[in-house]
Amino acid sequence: MIKSRPALSIPEALSIDKQHIWHPYSSINAPLDNYLVDTCKGVRIKLKDGTELIDGMASWWSVIHGYNHPELNAAIHAQLEKTAHVMFGGLTHEPAIELAEKLINVSPDGLEHVFFSDSGSVSVEVAIKMAIQYWQSRKQPEKHRLLSLRRGYHGDTFAAMSVCDPETGMHHLFNEVLAKQLFTEAPQCKFEDEWRDEYIADIEIQLKTHHQSLAAVILEPIVQGAGGMRFYSPRYLQEVKKLCEHYQVLLIADEIATGFGRTGKMFACEHANISPDILCLGKALTGGYMTLAATLCSHEIAQTICAGEASCFMHGPTFMANPLACAVSNKSLELLFNNDWQAKVNNIETQLNSQLAQCRDLPNVADVRVLGAIGVVETLAPVEMAKIVPLFVEEGVWLRPFGNRVYVMPPYITTNAELFSLTEAMHKVLQKM
Ligand SMILES: Cc1ncc(COP(=O)(O)O)c(C=O)c1O
């Protein structure tokens, strides 16, 4: 029998955590210290020891409306009274139907079919399978490879890993088992750069040379996130879209990180006014409440896949379209549109631009850039996470840099004063480093 145990002291709880639990990219032999969370409300994370932190990470881009939001809580409670989960094979439910309709309405034109899955990485797996099955159905099975951008990040599962940057990703570790994909250089143009045709020279050569074996190009539109927080020109995306059409290669847009307003547009593809053939969504889809992802595709792709040898799309996870996750996503989308997300993100962008500018003068800073509700300070040398995170905690903020990117991506409800605390802490801590 497993008995419920008496409440643990903070050191006891952290010690069990350290001994037994994997955290993202963590070592069991040399674990970093974790902070024990008690409650979260709005943009504040309250630790068990009473410390309050202003969250500048939105729990990895996802908590756009803040924590413990009364309307999101109510949406989950209401659905819980009906059913927490039910299988999606042979059964359907209103939260999924409503969400599919909403996503089709708000996403770029031409996307008409939705496949729900459990996480961003899985939605990328699904997108890749869709692209491969599409060409199989068109009797061109040789078109099964992916062309991806260096510095890209698409998740940690196997197909997703195969299209992540081959150097910063995990390719050398899993070399023997990863699908061999093709890579083009990371976009060399910044978001605001004047266009030069040389920016697409490399991808053009790759497409020209390899289109007969390519199922799709996969990219993060406008912002390459976890692979370097790089912003590139909308014109690059427009040109890639044209090249994909010309060479008959599908375009997969991974908007898992950029979707739902983060870059200043509802979807980053809108900066370039293009529609992808396949779109991956996740993270902020549920307002950061639960894990849910969606892969959308055009009618032509869906019906071609289903006219092929298998007569169906070959995927079907157990927790597909979980009703709680769909219900909270519906409410999150409602909150987004009813509360002028655009004005909020624009306001964050303006403030980040003016307040992070002071970091440019620091001797250890290489670049400062802002797009929508994303502010990045790139340092000359990688920062040491074990040293910098406690300094931020001392300043009362939650920021977790990686490599040489110290960045802030706050919930959209962050007030001017809270954002000021975040940017001041970034400046102060970078000054100390
Ligand atoms: C662009 C992009 N794609 C895919 C993923 C993977 O999503 P998940 O962590 O939900 O599997 C991420 C996660 O950071 C991401 O930023």
- 8 Å CB contact between 7 and 18: no
Q: In the beta sheet, which residues pair with residue 407?
A: 376
How much helix, strand and coil, in percent to the nearest 5, is found in the chain? 40, 15, 45
Say if ligand 1 is within 6 A of residue 155 CB: yes
Ligand 1 centre to CA of 363 (Å) is 32
Look at residue 119 in the predicted model and tell me its pLDDT.
98
Decide whether any atom of ligand 1 lies within 6 Å of the 226 Cβ.
Answer: yes
Q: Is 254 in the pocket of ligand 1 (CB under 6 A)?
A: yes
Indicate the SS3 state at residue 256.
Answer: coil
DSSP-assigned letters across all residues of 331-345: HHHHHHHHTTHHHHH
Give the ligand 1 atom nearest the CA of 283.
10
The mean pLDDT of the chain is 97
Nearest CA to ligand 1 atom 6: 155
pLDDT in tens, 139-175: 999 999 999 999 999 999 999 999 999 988 777 889 8
Residue 276: name the closest of 314, 241, 246 by CA. 241
Atom of ligand 1 nearest to the CA of 226: 16
Report the distance separating Cα 2 and Cα 41, nearest Å: 32
The pLDDT assigned to 208 comes to: 98
- Max Cα separation, the chain? 68
Q: Domains of the chain (ranges plus CATH)?
A: 10-68+340-432 (3.90.1150.10), 73-338 (3.40.640.10)
Residue from 61, 154, 156, 285 whose mutation best tests the ligand 1 pocket (most atoms within 8 A of CB): 154
Of 339, 372, 327, nearest in space to 102 by CA: 327
pLDDT of residue 30: 87
Task: Please give the distance, rounded to the nearest whole angstrom, from the Cα atom of residue 207 to the centre of ligand 1.
Answer: 25
Specify the ligand 1 atom closest to the Cα of 152.
1
- Provide the token pair at 344: 């909020």
| Ligand 1 atom at minimal distance to the Cα of residue 291 | 10
Q: What is the pLDDT of residue 400?
A: 97
CA-closest residue to ligand 1 atom 8: 120
Q: Please check whether residue 319 is in contact with residue 119, taking contact to mean a CB–CB distance below 8 angstroms.
A: no
Residues 6+ apart with CB under 8 A from 355: 419, 420, 423, 424, 427
- Give the ranges where 4-119 is alpha helix by DSSP (H): 10-20, 58-61, 70-82, 94-106
Nearest Cα residue to atom 2 of ligand 1: 154
Cβ distance 139 to 290 under 8 Å? no
Residues 6+ away with beta carbon under 8 Å from 192: 233
Cα torsion angle, 94, 105, 227, 181, sign? positive
Instruction: Look up residue 351 and give its amino acid.
Output: Q
User: What's the 257 CA to ligand 1 centre distance in angstroms?
Assistant: 7
Q: Is the CB of 169 under 6 A from ligand 1?
A: no
The owner of tokens 């490879």 is 145
Instruction: State residue 2's pLDDT score.
Output: 76
Catalytic residues: 25, 153, 254, 283
Q: Is the CB of 221 under 6 A from ligand 1?
A: no
Alpha-helical (H) ranges within 83-183 are: 94-106, 120-137, 158-162
Supply the residue whose CA is at minimum distance from atom 5 of ligand 1. Answer: 155
**How far apart are the CA of 307 and the centre of ligand 1, in A?**
30
Residue positions counted in the chain: 433
Q: What is the pLDDT along the chain (433 residues), one digit of tens a residue?
A: 777 778 899 999 999 999 999 999 999 998 889 999 999 999 999 999 999 999 999 999 999 999 999 999 999 999 999 999 999 999 999 999 999 999 999 999 999 999 999 999 999 999 999 999 999 999 999 999 999 999 999 999 999 999 999 988 777 889 889 999 999 999 999 999 999 999 999 999 999 999 999 999 999 999 999 999 999 999 999 999 999 999 999 999 999 999 999 999 999 999 999 999 999 999 999 999 999 999 999 999 999 999 999 999 999 999 999 999 999 999 999 999 999 999 999 999 999 999 999 999 999 999 999 999 999 999 999 999 999 999 999 999 999 999 999 999 999 999 999 999 999 999 999 999 8
Probe target for ligand 1 pocket from 61, 121, 280, with the most ligand atoms within 8 Å of CB: 121
| Cα–Cα dist 233/200, whole Å | 11
SS3 217: strand
* Centroid of ligand 1 to alpha carbon of 2 (angstroms): 35
For residue 31, which of 19, 40, 43, 42 has the smallest C-alpha distance?
19
124 lines ligand 1 (CB under 6 A): yes
- For residue 160, the ligand 1 atom closest to its alpha carbon is 4
